[in-house]
Amino acid sequence: MLLWTVIRRLIYSVILVVAVLVLNFLLIHLAPGDPADVIAGEMGGATEEVLASIRKAYGLDQPLYVQLWVYLKAAAGGDLGQSFFYNAPVIDLILDRVGATLLLVFTALGFAIVVGTTLGVIASRKPTGIVSNLVTVISVIGYSAPIFWTGIMLIIVFASLIPLFPISNMYDVTKSVGPFGYALDVAHHLVLPAFTLGIVYLAQYSRLTRASMLEVLGSDYIRTARAKGVSERKVYGRHALRNAVLPIITIAGLQFGGIVSGAVLVETVFNWPGLGTLAFDSILARDYPTILGILFFSAVIVIVANLITDLLYRVADPRIRMAK
Amino acid sequence: MTVLKVDNIVVDFATRRGNARVLDHVNLEVNEGEILGIVGESGCGKSMTALSIMGLVPSPPGNLTSGSIYLEGRDLVGLSKDEMREIRGNEIGMIFQEPMSSLNPVFTVGEQIAESVRLHENASQRAAWERAVEMLRAVGIPEAEVRAKSYPHQLSGGMRQRVMIAIALACNPRVLIADEPTTALDTTVQAQIFDLLEELQKSRGTAIVLITHDMGAVAQLADRVAVMYAGRIVETGTVEQVLTMPRHPYTEGLIACVPHLQPDPPEKREPLLEIPGVVPSLTELGDGCAFAPRCNRALATCTGRQPVLKTEGNGHATACWAVEAELENV
Ligand SMILES: Nc1ncnc2c1ncn2[C@@H]1O[C@H](COP(=O)(O)OP(=O)(O)OP(=O)(O)O)[C@@H](O)[C@H]1O
Ligand SMILES: [Mg+2]
């Protein structure tokens, strides 16, 4: 039954990916500006003759649907075209950067979920206590402070006032010695960007957990657990949290796209060498194939994440798992 | 021998409209292997009595102000949280009114029974699971091995209540408190659950406190019965005494509401009776008998002073000025 769900979801996902490709392709071609201009600009000359030969070389003289078909066919084979700006295959550029982005996104998400739910659970134990108020304050800040502002503030603080963490890049060649040293150095560089990206979601998850826990704690099966002699620690950690976490899985899955786009901002602010900085540079350079490739890739990431969320939710909630 | 003795407990709730005395000097005694019925209208404090025994009165706003609860002579009031946890689910089991929502939706029923066993006995995971299956069999669930792996949503209400009973009895408690165990179930299932309770009580010798609206169930199952009104016990005695010779006007009213329990049922079917008026607000109880405003036999004394339980010598006790006056005149 689970296998069927996976297969069905995979088919949907493929359809969705193709739709994303087509839509992005059309949108980019609706945008003003001639790619041939950009390519020519790189090369230095721009006579009408040169432009025409460029159009021919890149297939830009073909009708749009032919270009689309060619693009889709190539994409199916894993070829996302050639970057005008970097003069390298787009897929290589992306594969080079995607690891850094995923590292950032998952660290931020993990941080937000672990710390957020923990704070939420503690807050639910005393709905009017200090932690509970702290959660409210954190979430107001997290909701209202824009990512780039938080990032810049952290840079200001850590660049000069307390130089504890590096504020730019992913590693430092002089410090990354050996695989272990490298990992440690990356982790060190990761702290500020991941915190900046995670704090927004931490705010949301802690509030959501608090509300969800309070609701679950009032339910009859919690009373049953207490009547069985279950300790308060287990009532919270096992009986209540297992149920309270369900909406958090849903929300985290839904927000995954938002986190990926938030990563673009964070990467730019902290100069993190991921897809975000690549996207930023390609947009400035009007490097259409690269932009298309990144859009496509981030769509795939989000779709895969939603698929995983769906499966996780099934594992966590037997009522959904059993449903046809 | 007395297994459970509730001794003069008082439970107060702090509410916005002042202090509500939810239980007012409640006394109960449950003997070994006996079924004690507690009846009374909604809001009279039946569930709160049960929660007090379990040490689960929500606090705040609730508070057990005074009194003692003895389980085999040991006072539970004032035990530490850990000591009380040892007792819950182990020496006193409890089942609730809402079988649909009383089981945790994310664990299998087997896990939920086994958890209780592992909490109170030094059992291995496997032994606990085997006990769970055995308990499911004992409460009459077919294909217990398979059903143990089911989640609550896969079971009917009656089945879930059986699972609740299995959880409550898994550690062989001295006392089982059943708080309206059948209210949410349909009639045929109600009868099955009552039969099951009766059978388990006979085979295991567990004393049962059966809280119910159902006078018929009390007549069928209980040995003794306590009638509650507005946080007090107004009449208590054997089922025979209370149902065939009700003294308190409130008890008379309750019995009149159930046609087939009346001493001499009317020939013609009459419309169902009900006691006129409503239960008074617990924050506004005066000095007199709480039932006086609804009572058809109220005397002048009734609004001035609270009647106390007076025993007739055979264990049948009533808290009513009118009854007291009548008995004195005989
Ligand atoms: N949190 C609370 N705050 C104030 N009063 C409360 C609270 N919980 C219960 N009560 C009061 O305690 C009284 C006794 O409630 P209890 O649940 O014991 O009634 P019951 O006899 O079990 O009724 P039912 O037949 O409906 O289950 C009620 O009058 C109710 O209003
Ligand atoms: Mg009740």
- Cβ of residue B153 closer than 8 Å to a chain A Cβ: yes
Residue of A215, A224, A238, A248 to mutate, interface with B, max B Cβ within 10 Å:
A224
B74-75: strand order across its sheet = B18-31, B2-15, B62-71, B74-75
A154-205 confidence digits (pLDDT tens): 888 887 788 778 877 887 777 767 778 788 888 888 989 999 999 989 988 9
The answer to whether the beta carbons of residues A292 and A25 sit under 8 Å apart is yes
* A231 touches B at CB < 8 Å: yes
A167/B contact by beta carbon, under 8 A: no
Q: What pLDDT, on a 0 to 100 scale, did the predictor assign at position A209? A: 92
pLDDT at B254: 85
Ligand 1 atom 26, closest CA: B42
User: Residue B227 gets which letter from DSSP?
Assistant: E
- Both tokens of B66, joined, read 């005074």
A97-322: CATH number: 1.10.3720.10
Nearest Cβ partner for B103 among A224, A230, A322: A224
Cα torsion angle, B166, B167, B170, B174, sign: negative
**How high is the pLDDT of residue A105?**
93
Q: What is the per-residue pLDDT for A43?
A: 58
Q: Domains along chain B?
A: 2-259 (3.40.50.300)
Which residue out of B84, B86, B102, B154 would a mutagenesis test of the A interface target, given it has the greatest number of A Cβ atoms within 10 Å? Answer: B102
Is-contact A289 A312, C-beta < 8 A?
A: no
Say how far apart CA A96 and CA A99 lie, in whole Å. Answer: 7
pLDDT value of position B183 = 82
CA separation for the pair B80, B86 (Å, rounded): 10
Q: What's the pLDDT score for residue A42?
A: 59
Q: Please, what sign has the CA dihedral across residues B121, B127, B133, B135? A: negative
Cβ–Cβ contact B105 with A under 8 A? yes
Residue A295: φ, ψ to 5°: -60, -45
Do the beta carbons of residue A107 and residue A272 sit within 8 Å?
A: no
Q: Is B205 in the pocket of ligand 1 (CB under 6 A)?
A: no
Instruction: Take atom 10 of ligand 1 and give the residue whose Cα is closest.
Output: B22
The finding on whether B22 has its CB within 6 A of some atom of ligand 1 is: yes
- By the 8 A CB rule, do B149 and B107 touch? no
Sequence length of chain B is 330
Of residues B89, B106, B164, nearest to A229 (C-beta): B89
Which residue in chain A has the smallest CA separation from B153?
Answer: A319
Low-confidence residues of chain B: pLDDT under 50: none
A188 CA to centre of ligand 2 in angstroms? 58
Residues of chain A scoring pLDDT < 70: 1, 41-46, 176, 323-324
Question: Is the CB of B311 inside a 6 Å radius of any atom of ligand 1?
Answer: no
ipTM reported for the complex surpasses 0.90: no
Q: Confirm or reject contact between B98 and chain A (CB < 8 A).
A: yes
Ligand 1 pocket member B47 (CB < 6 A): yes
Domains in chain A: boundaries = 2-76, 97-322
